[in-house]
Amino acid sequence: MTKIETINNPFVMNHPTSWCPGCGNFSILESINETLNDLGLTPQEVLMVSGIGQAAKLPHYIHAHGLNSLHGRALPVVMGAHAANHNLRIILTSGDGDTYGEGGNHFIHGIRRNMDIVHIVHDNQIYGLTKGQGSPTTAFGQKTRLQVDGMRPDPLNPVALAISMDCSFVARSFSGDPEHLKSMIKAAMAHKGYALIDVLQPCISFNEVNTFKWYKERVYKLDPSFDATDRVKAFEKALEFGDEGIPMGILYKNEKATFIERIAHIDEPLVYKKRTPDDVQKLLEQFD
Amino acid sequence: MKKTIMIAGAAGEGINTSELFLERMLKREGFFVLSYKNYMSRVRGGFNYATITLGTEMVNSCEDRADIIIALNQEALDKSPMMLKKEGFILASDQLKTDAVEAHKSILWIEQEPLKAVSSSKNAFSMCAIGVVLKKLGLEQEALKGMTLKKWSEEVNQTNLAAGTYGFSLLESQIKTEITHQKETILVNGNQAVALGAMASGLGFYSAYPMAPSTGIITYLAAHEREMGLIVEQAEDEIAAIMAAIGAASNGVRAMTGTSGGGFALMVEALGFAAVSEVPLVVCNVQRPGPATGLPTRTEQADLSFVVTASQGEFARIVLAPLTVEDAFYTTFRAFNLAEKYQVPVIILTDQLLADSTQTISKFKTSGLKIERYLMEEVQTHYKRYDFDQTFGGRKYPGLDDQTLVMTDSHVHDEYGNETEDEQMTIKLKHKFIRRIEGIKNELNAPIFYGSESYKTLLICWGSTFGALKDAVNALNDQGESVAMLAFSDVFPIKEDVLKVYLKENVNVINVEGNAFNQFGKILRMETGVTFTKSINKYDGRPFNASYIIEAYRK
C-alpha cells in the first residue's frame, strides 16, 4: 500500500494499534481497507463487527461503523444487526479462538442461517491475547505455553466443517499474500450469503511452529480449473493441510437464499419501519 | 359471587381444550374469569389441573378450592375431595365408580352408556361436563356454541357439541346470576400481555431459546411476525438470543429477549455488555423455581436477588415486576422507553403464575401511549457515542443519518467508543452509571397503596403476589382487621425514602413474597432500613392465594 492510497482511502484510520510489530493482523487490516475502498463503499455503509481477542480489536482501527462485542459472540450480535438493517455491509473479523472455540456453537448455527455477511477469521492457530495457549486449530501434539507436553485434542478443520454444512462460501487465504487475500475479500463481498474466509496468519509471539516461513512453504493457489461448486471435491481439498500443502482460494460456493430472503415479509430493513402503539389494536380484537 | 371450576386429569386428556372452551364461553356471557394452569413438566400423563375462577367483577386471584371439579381420570377423582369446597361437587364418569368412592355424596356420576349414544367424541365426558357446568351456572343453551375450534373438522365439533348439549340437559337446578355485560374486555394471559406490550412499544426484533414458562412470548410473537412486520428468531442458545437482541437494538430496532431463570443465567455476561455499550435492551425473565432445572412448570419469585446483581462489575439497570396480567402490558411498554432513555438493560420479571394466568381485563388502551426514543438527530462528524456528560438521550445508531459513524464497544472506552485503560475515563464511566441510577430512581413508579387508610398493619409485596394479597387485604378488612398493602412493580433500583410516608408508629410491617429468603424484603431493608415484624412466604412451587395469606397473617 502506498502513502497516496492511504490518504485517499476514507477507511484508513492510522489509529495506534495494540498489535505486535510484524503481526499478520496488519496485512489483513490493510487488505480490508483497500478492498472496501476499491469497491467504492463509504464508511457509513460498512459495519465492522468482532468478538474479543487481538484480531477482534480490528473494528477500532477502521474508519467505519464498529461493534466490538463479547468473546465468541460476534455471530449472534451480527444476526441482530443484520436483521435490524440489512442495508449495512457487515464484515466480521475475529480470531480462531473467538470463532471456533468460544463461538463454536454460533459458528455452526451461523452457517445454517446464511446471513449475507463476510466473516474473516484471523487463524493463527494459537491464542494471542491470553498469551500462547492452544486454540481449536492448533495441531495435535503441538507444544504451547500451556500444553507443555503437546496438544491432546485433535484440531478442528474449519473449512471442512463449513463445507460439510453446505456453507454458501468457503475460502482460505494467507496474510502473507495480501493480493490473494484482497481477491478473496472481494469475492466474498460480491457473494450473496454467508462468506467464510479462513485467513492463515503467523503469530510471531506465541506460535513457533506455524511461522510465516512454515505457511509460505506450504500454501498454494487452487488451480483456476478447480470446480468450487462440487461439494465432495471441495471437502477433499479442505482436508489438505500440512506438509502435503495447503490449498488457498475459494474452496466451495453454493449460492442459496439468504437469512433475509428466507423471511418472506421482510423487504425494507426493520430499522426504517414506522411503528405506533395503535398497531396492536388489530391483535387485541382477537382476544374478545 | 365468586366460583371456581377445576378440570383435573393427565396431560393429553383435554384439560387445555376444556379450559379454553369454558373461559371463552364464560367471558362471552359477561363473567370475569381468571384461569391458571397447574401442570407437570411432561408431554403426556401425570396429574395436571386448570382452575377457572369466575366472578361478576374483576377476579384478582385464583382460589385454592373449587365449587365444581371435572375429574378426567381415577387419580383426579381420588384427589378431588381434598380440593373441593364444602358445598361443591365433582363430575366424574360412572366408569370410575367403585365401592370406595361411591359413598362420596358430592360426586355427580355421568353415565357413559347414554352419553355414548348421543356422542362419539373421544372427549365426550369432558364436553358433557362443560354442558353441566354451564347449566349449573345459569347460562343459556346458546352459550354452548363456543364449544368449537376452527382447526377441528365439522364432525368433531358436532360430536363435541352433542356431548355438551347432553350435559346441559342433565341438571334441572340453576344458579341465577345477574351479570352486567362488560364491554371492552379481553381475555389474555401474562405472556401474551408482555408480547403485546412490547409490540405496542414498537418491538421489531425478538430472539429467544424455548424455555418454560417463557415460551408463550415467542410463540405469540411468531404467530404475528408477518402481520406486525417483526423478525422473530429462535436462537441456538440463550447467549445467542440476548446477543442478537443487542445487535438489533444497537442498530436502532427495539429488541427483546425472553427466558426463564436458567436461560437468564446464560445471558448474564451479555447483560453487562448491553450496559457498558449503552444499548437499550429489554429482557423478560419469566421466573420458575430454581436452582438449576428446578421445577420447570411451577412458579416462584426467587430470581430477584440474582437479576439485580447479575453480571460482573457495576452498572445501572432497571428491574420491573408487573403486578397483574394487565400491568404486564403497560409495564412492558414502559420498559422500552426506559431502556432507550437511559440506555440501560431493563429486566421484566414475571413468573409462571402470570405467564399461565388467563384473565378477563379491560382492553389495553393504546391512545395514551407514546413511543419515546431519545435520539440525537444532528449529524456528528466525530460522534461521542459515550459522551461522559450525558445521563440520558443523545443516542445515534448506524444509518440514522448518512454521515455519522457509530462505535459500540464492550470495554471501558473513551467518549468515542475507543477502548482505553485510562484511569480518568474509567472513573467517568462509573460516574455516568451512578448519575443514571439516580435519574432512574426518580423516574420509577412509587408502589401502589391499597386498603384501610387507618391501617395497623402494612403488608408489602412485589410482582404477581399483588392479586392474592389484594383479596387477602379485602377479606381481612371485612373481618374487622385494619390492614393495608403496598405493591411494588418497580423493584429496582429503590429510592431510600420510598417507604417514608407509609411507615408509622405502632404499624406492623409484614413482608409477603413468593420465596423463602425474603429477597425483596432484604433489598427494601438495605435501601430504606425498614424492619419487618414478620414475613409471609410461599415456596412450594405453587402460587399464593388469599386464604393462605390470611391464615399466615393470623398465625
More confident residue, B28 or B454: B454
Label residue B98 by pLDDT band (50, 70, 90): confident
Distance CA(A230)–CA(A51), nearest Å, equals 32
Query: Which residue in A has a C-alpha nearest to residue B243's C-alpha?
Result: A77
| HEC-encoded secondary structure of B378-425 | CCCCCCCCCCCCCCCCCECCCCCCCCCCCEEECCCECCCCCECCCHHH
Predicted confidence (pLDDT) per residue in B134-179, tens digit: 999 888 889 998 898 989 999 999 999 999 999 999 987 556 666 6
Whether the per-residue pLDDT at B101 is higher than 80: the answer is no
Query: Which residue in A has a C-alpha nearest to residue B397's C-alpha?
Result: A65
- Closest C-alpha to A90, from A80, A105, A100: A80
Per the structure, the count of domains in chain A is: 1
Mean pLDDT of B270-279: 98
Look at residue B176 in the predicted model and tell me its pLDDT: 61
Set of cell numbers at residue B444: 420509577
Predicted confidence (pLDDT) per residue in A68-99, tens digit: 999 999 999 999 999 999 999 999 999 999 99
Report pTM.
0.96
The answer to whether the beta carbons of residues B302 and B278 sit under 8 Å apart is no
Phi and psi of B78, rounded to 5°? -60, -35
Distance CA(B279)–CA(B409), nearest Å, equals 10
What is the torsional sign of CA B319, B322, B327, B329?
positive
Whether the per-residue pLDDT at A116 is higher than 70: the answer is yes
- One DSSP character per residue, chain A reads --HHHHHH-TTB--PPP-SPTT-HHHHHHHHHHHHHHHTT--GGGEEEEE-SSSGGGGGGGBSSEEEE--TT-HHHHHHHHHHH-TTSEEEEEEEHIIIIIITHHHHHHHHHHT-S-EEEEEE-SS-TTTTS---TTSPTT---SS-TT---SPPP-HHHHHHHTT-SEEEEEETT-HHHHHHHHHHHHHSSS-EEEEEE---TTT-SSS-HHHHHHHEEEPPTT--TT-HHHHHHHHT--STT-EEEEEEEE-----TTTTSTT--S-GGG----GGGGHHHHGGG-
Predicted confidence (pLDDT) per residue in B518-546, tens digit: 999 999 999 999 999 999 999 999 999 99
Look at residue B177 in the predicted model and tell me its pLDDT: 62
Predicted confidence (pLDDT) per residue in B226-273, tens digit: 999 999 999 999 999 999 999 999 999 999 999 999 999 999 999 999
Whether the per-residue pLDDT at B419 is higher than 80: the answer is yes
Whether the per-residue pLDDT at B474 is higher than 50: the answer is yes
Q: What percent of chain B has pLDDT above 70?
A: 97
Predicted confidence (pLDDT) per residue in B475-518, tens digit: 999 999 999 999 999 999 999 999 999 999 999 999 999 999 99
Look at residue B41 in the predicted model and tell me its pLDDT: 86
ipTM value for the complex: 0.97
Q: Least CB-CB distance to A69: which of B241, B243, B364?
A: B243
Instruction: Please state whether the peptide bond connecting residue B213 to the residue before it is cis, i.e. omega within 30 degrees of 0.
Output: yes
Look at residue B97 in the predicted model and tell me its pLDDT: 85
Query: Which residue in B has a C-alpha nearest to residue A108's C-alpha?
Result: B236
Predicted confidence (pLDDT) per residue in A15-74, tens digit: 899 999 989 999 999 999 999 999 999 999 999 999 999 999 999 999 999 999 999 999
Please report residues of A whose CB lies closer than 8 A to that of B229.
Answer: 265-266, 270, 273, 275
**B246 and A279 in contact by Cβ < 8 A?**
no
Mean pLDDT of B113-138: 93
Look at residue B183 in the predicted model and tell me its pLDDT: 72
Predicted confidence (pLDDT) per residue in A180-226, tens digit: 999 999 999 999 999 999 999 999 999 999 999 999 999 999 999 99
Look at residue B112 in the predicted model and tell me its pLDDT: 93
**A81 and B250 in contact by Cβ < 8 A?**
yes
Q: Determine contact: A82 vs chain B, CB below 8 A.
A: yes
Q: Determine contact: B204 vs chain A, CB below 8 A.
A: yes
Q: At what angle do helices B238-249 and A74-84 cross, to 10 degrees?
A: 40
Look at residue B106 in the predicted model and tell me its pLDDT: 85
Locate cell 510489530: which residue? Answer: A21
Q: Determine contact: A87 vs chain B, CB below 8 A.
A: yes
Considering only residues 273 to 312 of chain B, which have any Cβ-Cβ distance to chain A shorter than 8 Å? 273, 277
Look at residue B281 in the predicted model and tell me its pLDDT: 98
Look at residue B313 in the predicted model and tell me its pLDDT: 97
Distance CA(A84)–CA(B248), nearest Å, equals 5
Whether the per-residue pLDDT at A3 is higher than 70: the answer is no
Predicted confidence (pLDDT) per residue in B182-230, tens digit: 678 999 999 999 999 999 999 999 999 999 999 999 999 999 999 999 9
Return the SS3 of B150: coil
**A265 and B229 in contact by Cβ < 8 A?**
yes
Look at residue B487 in the predicted model and tell me its pLDDT: 98
**B409 and A73 in contact by Cβ < 8 A?**
no
Considering only residues 42 to 71 of chain A, which have any Cβ-Cβ distance to chain B shorter than 8 Å? 43-44, 47, 52, 57, 59-60, 63-70
Phi and psi of A240, rounded to 5°? -70, 115
Look at residue B248 in the predicted model and tell me its pLDDT: 98
Whether the per-residue pLDDT at A1 is higher than 60: the answer is no
- Closest C-alpha to B357, from B60, B107, B74: B60
Look at residue B506 in the predicted model and tell me its pLDDT: 93
Label residue A255 by pLDDT band (50, 70, 90): very high
**B409 and A60 in contact by Cβ < 8 A?**
yes
Look at residue B175 in the predicted model and tell me its pLDDT: 61
Distance CA(A125)–CA(A178), nearest Å, equals 19
Name the average pLDDT for chain A.
95
Compute the nearest-CA separation of B331 from chain A (Å).
13
Domain housing A171: 3-287
CATH label of the domain that carries residue A238: 3.40.50.970
Mean pLDDT of A112-129: 96
Mean pLDDT of B406-421: 96
Look at residue A95 in the predicted model and tell me its pLDDT: 96
Locate cell 496438544: which residue? Answer: A151
Burial of B103 (0-12, 13-18, 19+ CB in 10 A): exposed
Look at residue B12 in the predicted model and tell me its pLDDT: 87
For chain B, list the domains and their CATH numbers.
2-170 (3.40.920.10), 187-362 (3.40.50.970), 448-554 (3.40.50.920)
Distance CA(B94)–CA(A203), nearest Å, equals 79
Whether the per-residue pLDDT at B103 is higher than 70: the answer is no
What is the torsional sign of CA B318, B321, B327, B328?
positive
**B205 and A284 in contact by Cβ < 8 A?**
no
Distance CA(B505)–CA(A181), nearest Å, equals 77
| HEC-encoded secondary structure of B260-315 | CHHHHHHHHHHHHHHHHCCCCEEEEEEECCCCCCCCCCCCCCCCHHHHHHCCCCCC
Q: Determine contact: A84 vs chain B, CB below 8 A.
A: yes
Whether the per-residue pLDDT at B102 is higher than 70: the answer is no
